[in-house]
Amino acid sequence: MATTAGRGLPMVPHDMVTTNLQLDGYRVTRNLGVVRGITVRSRSVFGTLGASLQTLVGGNITLFSQLCEKSREEAFDLMLLHAAQLGANAVIAMRYDATEIMQGVTEVLAYGTAVVVERA
């Protein structure tokens, strides 16, 4: 089992997660149910100002891209931690969802099905 960066807590390894309904080369021996990781983020005043300036030149707005990537990564790692707490060694049917809770505040959800797998 892998550990979370800086936390030392066990979590499902990244290579044992798939958006498919099965993990190639493995067979599911136990289904442990839905797992999730949720993070809620807001844009800072300075980040919003910097991103607004980036929109003037066009192209990728890197400040927002970095915020989105960090939010997804945190939600993903929380999902893997939740799966490990249930005794899973893999997650299948993994998905992301995002909802704007209020202006400038977004919830990012990573979810999937925690399973125990063994090599086929």
83: domain CATH number?
3.30.110.70
Q: What is the pLDDT of residue 56?
A: 57
Are β-strands 105-119 and 90-102 bridged in parallel, bridged antiparallel, or unpaired? antiparallel
Condensed to tens digits (0 to 9), the pLDDT of residues 52-69 reads 555 555 566 566 678 789
Q: Is residue 82 part of a domain?
A: yes
Q: Is residue 48 part of a domain?
A: no
Strand partners, 92: 113
Q: Is residue 107 part of a domain?
A: yes
**What is the rounded CA–CA span in Å between residue 26 and residue 18?**
12
What percent of the chain is predicted at pLDDT more than 70?
75
Q: Report how many domains make up the chain.
A: 1
Length of the chain measured in residues: 120
**What is the rounded CA–CA span in Å between residue 45 and residue 41?**
13
What is the domain extent for residue 91? 2-42+71-119
Distances (CA, A) of 46 to 61, 71, 85: 14, 18, 37
Q: Is residue 49 part of a domain?
A: no
**What is the rounded CA–CA span in Å between residue 24 and residue 19?**
11
Q: Is residue 62 part of a domain?
A: no
Q: What is the pLDDT of residue 48?
A: 53
Q: What is the pLDDT of residue 113?
A: 98
Q: Is residue 58 part of a domain?
A: no
Q: What is the mean pLDDT of residues 83-104?
A: 93
Q: Is residue 65 part of a domain?
A: no
Q: For residue 106, name the pLDDT band (cuts at 50, 70, 90).
A: confident
Q: Is residue 50 part of a domain?
A: no
Q: From start to end of the chain, where are the E strands?
A: 2-3, 10-11, 26-42, 90-102, 105-119
Whether the pLDDT of residue 51 is over 60: the answer is no
